[in-house]
Structure 1
Amino acid sequence: MPAVPSRSVPALLRSLQDDDPGVPRLTWYAADHERSGERVELSARVLSTWVAKTANLLEEEFDAGPGSVVAIDLPTHWRTLVFQLAAWSTGAAVRLGPDRPADVLVSSSVEALRRNASTERIAVSPAPLARDFGAEVPEGVLDYARVITGYGDTYSPMVEPGPEDPALETADGSALTHEGLLAGAAEAGAGWPPGVRLLTDVGPADVVRGPLAAWVRTGSVVLTPDLGSLPEKVAAAERTTATLS
């Protein structure tokens, strides 16, 4: 197993910026890219800024940190990765799905937001350049797009998570600790060369063997919700060197 270059998500993001702050680290293609042209590209600096703003929101508004749980009910999307990275930056655990107890629920589903009225909630629109949720937000729910620009561009956790603190809990009940998060990513990406450019459609449950594994290799990610809907010419244009589904 290769050495882990970073022991925490904030350290990983710093290492990507130190390597080259302007190089693309996350490129998103919507499923209907051919019709809509929706493509979003985030450099190391821009990705880190989105993560910092979101981590500041989670910590300042909801006291997210070690011991707390952020439930993420979002599809395969670049914003989903931002929320996962932000939650881990605070030291919180990410729990996938809307229907198990959590301190904060992050969802794009109005139904799920309404159903979990006793939980702190954040409404997230997957629409490109969204300035609001795009639908009526249930009472007591924070509209992510409306407020996120008001949070700081840098983030330092108040408390570091312990090595055995949970980091990722999937719907089947399996869990990964903060210590195991990047170690697992390093192991998963051991067969890829440094600087790998990964084309993938893996969902939030597979973030360790997908995006995190590429970033640990100082690489980058081209993400789409369905590889089958993406024209072959995109992989050539993006100069991808590995594919994962």
Structure 2
Amino acid sequence: MLPLLRRLLDDDPTAPRLTWYAADHASSGERIELSARVLATWVAKTANLLEEEFEVGPGSVVALDLPTHWRTPVFQLAAWSTGAAVRHGADRPADVLVSSSVEALQRNGSQDRIAVSLLPLATRFDGELPAGVLDYARVVTGYGDTYVALSAPGPEDPALEVPALAHGRLQAAAQEAGADWPVGVRLLTDAGPDDVVRGPLAAWARAGSVVLTPDLDALGERVVGSERTTATLRTRPAPPTGSPAQD
């Protein structure tokens, strides 16, 4: 288990660590909250899947073609738990491609591919999958709730391809990114996959929690106030002044 996850579990396994709001929350009501224990369980199940099904480990590259969504940091943490490197996007083949797009799963040349449904409480991928693609929602719950890597990555082994970051620098980079936030920060952010280190990881490195949504302005002041956030990281431009915000 990554030291960062272990610390969150040791601090308080029941405390909320990742709260997700869908962009259409105002109409759908989609909100998902993961405690430290539940987050660690999802990461462990996903890491076990990657290792047992596809022999992912140090030296492997896992391509993540996922949007801003609660499942995205789960896959990032799982890949790092195995010692693999994460690549964002589906522009070229990797050892394993993880995508929510049927088109990407069809055209990418990766031999091993995982389809991820972004629907709440999904038990299968919503749509017909190309032959040979593993349906994450169908199988992930069958994997173990704890994970111990077969082998640990070296400090210089890549954790991220872009920006280049080694496993030995992952924790330190997150600590540096969140240095100005208070301990126990509750971070409101629209951080996408490329911003995981300066977003969710940085907040967790401060023993904090994350409120994640793809559209900060769609939440509205009432929802934001209810979450009692103490810091905000915006990675997408704000709408022009005067644009209406949903409540």
> What does 1:215-234 correspond to in 2, within 5 Å?
215-234=204-223
**In the aligned structure 1, how far is the partner of 2:110 from the partner of 2:182?**
46
Aligned-pair CA distance for 1:56? 0.1
Q: Are 2:20 and 1:31 equivalent residues in the alignment?
A: no
Please list, as runs of the form range in 1=range in 2, the aligned pairs for 1:155-174 lying within 5 A after superposition.
155-170=147-162, 174=163
1:117 to partner: Cα distance: 4.8
User: What residue in structure 2 maps to residue 62 of structure 1?
Assistant: 54
Secondary structure at the aligned position of 2:45 is classed as: helix
Q: Tell me, what secondary structure is at the counterpart of 1:202?
A: coil
What is the CA distance between 1:232 and its match in structure 2? 1.3
Q: CA–CA distance in 2 between the matches of 1:109 and 1:32?
A: 19
Shift in Å, 1:116:
2.1
**Structure 1: 5+ residue runs without aligned partners?**
1-8
Gaps of 5+ in 2: 235-247
Q: Residue 171 of structure 2 is aligned with which of 182, 187, 190?
A: 182
Q: Offset of 1:112 from its aligned partner?
A: 0.5
Q: 1:135 aligns with which of 127, 134, 137?
A: 127
Residue 100 of structure 1 aligns with an amino acid whose one-letter code is: R
Q: 231-240 vs 46-55, which deviates more? A: 231-240
* TM-aligned CA distance change 1:98 to 1:237, over 3 Å: same
1:92 counterpart residue number: 84
Deviations 1:156-193 (A, max 9, x none): 111111011000123xxx31111111111100100011
TM-score of the pair, normalised by structure 1 = 0.94
TM superposition outliers: structure 1 runs of 4+ over 4 Å? none
**TM-score, length-scaled by structure 2:** 0.93
Equivalent residue for 1:147, pick from 125, 139, 147? 139
Q: Percent identity of the aligned residues?
A: 76
How many pairs were matched up?
A: 234
* RMSD, matched Cα: 0.9
| Equivalence for 1:12 | 4
